[in-house]
Chains A and B, each alone.
Chain A
Amino acid sequence: MSGKRKATAGKKAAKTHLPYDGPPDYRVVGRHGMFPDIGHDEIARFNFLAHMNRHLSTRVMPAVAEAFEKRVRPAFEKAEKRVFKDRHEVRKALLKDPMFQWWSALRRATMEQRQQAGRWVALRQAEALNARADKLTRGDKRLKLDPKLDLPRYVAAVDHHCMPGSYHTELAPGDVTAAANYDIGLFATTGGMLGRYNDGGGVAVAKWVKENLPAFRPKRILDLGCGLGHNVLPIAEAFPKSEVVAVDVAAPMLRYGLARAKTMGVENVTFVQGDAASLAQFPDESFDWIQSTMFLHETSFGSMPKIFAETKRLLRPGGVVLHVEQPQYAKTMPLFEQAMRDWDAFYNNEPFWTKMHEIDLDAFMARAGFGAGDLIHGGVAAVVDARVFPEAAKDDKQEDYGRKPAWHVIGARKPAKSVMRAAE
Chain B
Amino acid sequence: MTTIDPLDLAGAKSRGKRPYFLHDRDVERLMTITMALAQEISVLRERLDTVERLLEKNDVLARADIESYAPSKKEAEERGRMIQEFLARILRVIQQERESISMNDQSSEDVAEELARS
Contact = CB atoms under 8 A, between A and B. Distances in A.
A349 B10 CA distance: 18
A119 B10 contact: yes
Given A4-B62, A41-B47, A346-B19, 16 more contacts: A2-B59, A8-B68, A9-B62, A41-B46, A45-B43, A47-B42, A48-B39, A109-B36, A110-B35, A113-B39, A115-B14, A116-B11, A120-B6, A124-B6, A171-B9, A349-B16
Interface in B17-46: 18-23, 28, 31-32, 35-36, 38-39, 42-43, 46
A108 B4 CA distance: 26
B15 interface: yes
Contact of A120 (B10, B20, B23): B10
B63 interface: yes
Complex A-B, nearest 4 residue pairs according to Cβ-Cβ distance, in ascending order: A158-B16, A159-B14, A123-B6, A5-B62
Contacts of B9: 119, 123, 164, 171
A40 B43 CA distance: 9
Q: Which of B21, B42, B65 has the most CB of A within 10 A?
A: B21
A8 B64 contact: yes
Nearest to A4: B62
A166 B31 CA distance: 25
Interface of B: 1-6, 9-16, 18-23, 28, 31-32, 35-36, 38-39, 42-43, 46-47, 50, 59-60, 62-65, 67-68
A136 B77 CA distance: 60
A41 B43 contact: yes
A40 to B, nearest CB: 6
Interface residues of A, number: 54
Interface stretch (A99-107, A249-257, A369-377, A396-404): A99-107
Interface string A114-145: 01110110011011000000000000000000
Q: Which of A45, A52, A109 has the most CB of B within 10 A?
A: A109
15 contacts: A4-B62, A11-B64, A40-B47, A44-B46, A51-B42, A101-B21, A102-B21, A102-B22, A104-B19, A108-B19, A108-B21, A113-B35, A127-B4, A158-B14, A163-B14
A162 B19 CA distance: 11
